[in-house]
Amino acid sequence: MKITVVGTGYVGLVTGACLAEMGNHVLCLDLDARKIEMLNAGGIPIHEPGLEEVVQRNAAAKRLEFTTDVDRAVAHGTLQFIAVGTPPDEDGSADLQYVVAAARAIGERMTDYKVVIDKSTVPVGTSDKVRAAIDAALAARGVTLEFAVVSNPEFLKEGAAVADFMRPDRVVIGADDERAILLMRSLYAPYVRNRDRVLVMDLKSAEFTKYAANSMLATRISFMNELSRVAEAVGADIELVRQGIGSDPRIGTQFLYAGCGYGGSCFPKDVKALIRSASEAGQELELLSAVESVNERQKQVLGDKIIARFGADLSGRRFALWGLAFKPGTDDMREAPSRVLIERLTAAGAEVTAYDPVAMAEARRAMPGQAGLRYADSAVAALEGADALVIVTEWKEFRSPDFDAIRSTLRTPLVFDGRNLFEPALMKQLGIEYHAIGRPS
């Protein structure tokens, strides 16, 4: 099939590359000429395991092309995916100007039947706005053409996006046009072994599904984070509790890890946006508001523990920080708990020496000129002269560290672990003072 993808951000690029991988001819459009130049030269602007190979392989086979030419992009695909950004407005609602502009651009140029597919995460009802923008553009041209609007939310996880796209656990298609449903079903058939995994529903339910999924996952995390505080207070171990409840198939094992708060470009934004759209619809989401505030509080938990241990004035103290990205496998610094911690520690007078296997360049961009923050070349180098090690992101290389090096390089053998990577009993045996989340120290 001939497909156009508007927007070569994270979602657009993964979608375009993975659709080309199955033999489709994909043209990706972006107005950022530098980005398109980079992509045409075989580079990719984000860190995502396996993506570069898929992009290069399909670009070499001429199934995947990149352009800034809007006319060409609209002419190319019968399927037009919109995968542009929906940044949060000041009030937390999603800013739809780029989605609507993309729809308008399609309406201004199309000459035959198009299926316009929303891949960006958009509030319930956005499909009506997309349809209206295309209708208005067609009316302004004085032409009548058939088109369909489809909602096809993505469920990609950063760090595993290519695998998630190639083997989805479900594909949600919101549509009311039979021809479009047929095209969408055949587009995704090669990706799903079981046809039942393609869920066709009305547009609003599809749009809602995306927010409901992310909000449910965020709720599980905040629930466990809140319980981790209680576990500490009563002397229970949240890790054992996690295993104890997760073995019930009705609860399931995933997304029950207590930590130092969820971050990233999705959970914080989507929880906010759902609260906002609910309130516009006259509904108050008490539970989700609590999910959000529990998370804000949880991002402070490492800072709280450090201050409880060292006192509020941290001047003259130095902390080694392992992990900057909001989670492993990505260089994404958006809403990362590390940022909150760095601001808190440096504001209290401490110095922070950070190490992250991939996110240091991105961290420099995200926190330009941050006073008191330095970067180390390796995990062990970050430990030199530090009063304690603080673990914020659970990169694999931090899971089995050289404990001897930790003990001998730190000024005091002291670890604050925001991701519960080690057994408290082992740390005790090694003579390392260990503060985890919801576990006995």
* Binding region for ligand UGA (CB under 6 A): 121, 154-158, 214, 217, 221, 255-257, 259, 262-264, 266-267, 326-327
Q: Find out whether 158 and 48 touch, Cβ atoms under 8 Å.
A: yes
Locus of tokens 């981790």: 228
Between the alpha carbon of residue 385 and those of residues 152, 316, 381, the distances in Å are: 51, 11, 9
**Partners of 322 in the β-ladder:** 355, 391
Toward ligand UGA, which CB reaches closer, 105 or 218? Answer: 218
For the bound state, the minimum distance from the C-beta of residue 49 to ligand UGA, rounded and expressed in Å, comes to 12
For the bound state, the minimum distance from the C-beta of residue 172 to ligand UGA, rounded and expressed in Å, comes to 11
Q: Find out whether 110 and 144 touch, Cβ atoms under 8 Å.
A: no
Q: Which of 116, 77, 76, 79 is nearest to 100 (CA)?
A: 116
Toward ligand UGA, which CB reaches closer, 188 or 257? Answer: 257
CA–CA dist 325, 331 (Å, integer): 5
Burial class, 285, CB count within 10 angstroms (exposed 0-12 / middle 13-18 / buried 19+): middle
Locus of tokens 């008191």: 372
Give the annotated binding-site residues for substrate.
155-158, 210, 255-259, 263, 327
Is there a catalytic annotation at residue 28? no
For the bound state, the minimum distance from the C-beta of residue 75 to ligand UGA, rounded and expressed in Å, comes to 29
Toward ligand UGA, which CB reaches closer, 67 or 152? Answer: 152
Which residues lie below 8 Å from residue 291, measured CB to CB, with a gap of 6+? 215, 218, 219, 222, 271
Give the annotated binding-site residues.
30, 35, 86, 121, 155-158, 210, 255-259, 263, 269, 327, 334
Which residues lie below 8 Å from residue 132, measured CB to CB, with a gap of 6+? none
CA–CA dist 297, 290 (Å, integer): 10
For the bound state, the minimum distance from the C-beta of residue 369 to ligand UGA, rounded and expressed in Å, comes to 25
Q: Which of 251, 304, 270, 258 is nearest to 421 (CA)?
A: 258
Q: How many C-beta atoms surround the C-beta of residue 6 within 10 A?
A: 31
Toward ligand UGA, which CB reaches closer, 254 or 400? Answer: 254
> Which of 18, 28, 260, 266 is labelled catalytic?
266
Give the annotated binding-site residues for NAD(+).
30, 35, 86, 121, 158, 269, 334
Toward ligand UGA, which CB reaches closer, 254 or 315? Answer: 254
Between the alpha carbon of residue 40 and those of residues 48, 79, 301, the distances in Å are: 18, 22, 44
For the bound state, the minimum distance from the C-beta of residue 237 to ligand UGA, rounded and expressed in Å, comes to 16
For the bound state, the minimum distance from the C-beta of residue 209 to ligand UGA, rounded and expressed in Å, comes to 11
Toward ligand UGA, which CB reaches closer, 263 or 303? Answer: 263
Catalytically annotated residues: 266
